[in-house]
């Protein structure tokens, strides 16, 4: 993991923070490079743990200091 980016099957994903939140938008969201919006990241209540949906599948993302773990839910 480099800063807020990570690779899955050769594709680079980046966790971004919104500069301003309007309405019910979450603080963080996920993109795939070249730029493609993936999903908002919804906090699970556990530290550095989020859920998101991508291509009609639900995932859990856990950020550690130097790694990211994705689980299919």
Bond into 10 cis (ω within 30)? no
Extents of the domains making up the chain: 5-72
Nearest to 41 by CA among 59, 23, 24, 26: 26
Assigned token pair, 69: 């773990």
Query: Quick one: which H or E segment has residue 47?
Result: none
2-35 per-position pLDDT tens digit? 578 998 889 999 999 998 877 888 999 999 999 9
pTM: 0.85
């Amino acid at each position: 993991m480099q800063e807020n980016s990570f690779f899955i099957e050769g594709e680079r994903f980046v966790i971004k923070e919104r500069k301003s939140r309007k309405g019910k938008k979450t603080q963080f969201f996920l993109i795939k490079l070249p730029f493609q919006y993936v999903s908002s990241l919804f906090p699970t209540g556990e530290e550095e743990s989020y859920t998101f949906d991508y291509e009609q599948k639900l995932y859990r993302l856990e950020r550690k200091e130097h790694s990211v773990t994705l689980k299919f839910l």
